[in-house]
Amino acid sequence: MDLLSHPASRFSGYETAFCDETALSHKISPELKMKLSTRPNTHPIPNSPVWKSPLILFTLGFLFVLISSSLFFKPQAVTSTLYVDVSTSNQPFKAEVITLCRQRLTFLKPKDAIVDAQFADRITQWQNTTYQPQAQNNLRSRCDRILDPDASLGHAPGTALMSAVRDWSTQVQHVQLQNQAPVVAIFVIQAAEVADGQTAIDWQQIKHWIQERIAQRGVVLIVGSEATLQSQWITAFKESPRTQIVPYRDSDSGLKWAFDLARKS
């Protein structure tokens, strides 16, 4: 009989192979079995798209916020007025006034309106323009001459505070007819000596002129007044949270307060 046709012979080869494999498995050390069982999977793990990386997503989000802010957020334009006492009493503080004038420039933004004046026995307009960064050097140079009185001033003693505030109110009113931007009003005055023939100081009237003009989100900063005058300012505006009276040494913090408050209005 053909051995290959015998049923038992069909499985003899498989049995032999199975026995050989079983015998081999008994010969493998436990350590080798451990290594074989813990062999890493060699099948490649599909990578996530690069754009889903947390770092990439964070960077894209940051750029979006940055670009959106630059496109849609523009600082509130303001009308900045600087009225400076150039009388004899304020001349000893020339360095402080020049510093304040230059400090003010650092807070200005393009399109801010500038309305400046000098006053002593009377008042004269000193500067009326729109701020542009390219004019910064010229404006700084003008600050060096801010306490040099105009030829029309100083022909009589005294400091006409009433005339200065009334003129300021009129000038701001003209600006507000075309420009509704908040007003940052800065008055620099050391003393208010009322000379013969000048109007006596009426603090209720001064308060009315100023508050009427700053009612629409404006602020007022008074700088450099001597003790008596400073006390009078404080008394007149003690109930006005948008008015601040500071000495020269605090002019920078006062300017920051004024411009920040006006631009947030």
d(CA 237, CA 126): 27
Q: Select from 228, 232, 229, 233 the least CA-distant residue to 244.
A: 233
d(CA 233, CA 244): 9
**Taking all residues of the chain, what is their mean pLDDT, rounded to a whole number?**
83
d(CA 116, CA 219): 16
d(CA 147, CA 98): 8
d(CA 105, CA 36): 77
Domain boundaries, the chain: 79-263
> pLDDT tens for residues 102-113?
999 999 999 999
| Domain spanning 79-263, CATH architecture | 3-Layer(aba) Sandwich (3.40)
Give this prediction's pTM: 0.73
> pLDDT tens for residues 26-37?
555 555 455 545
Average pLDDT of 112-123?
Answer: 96
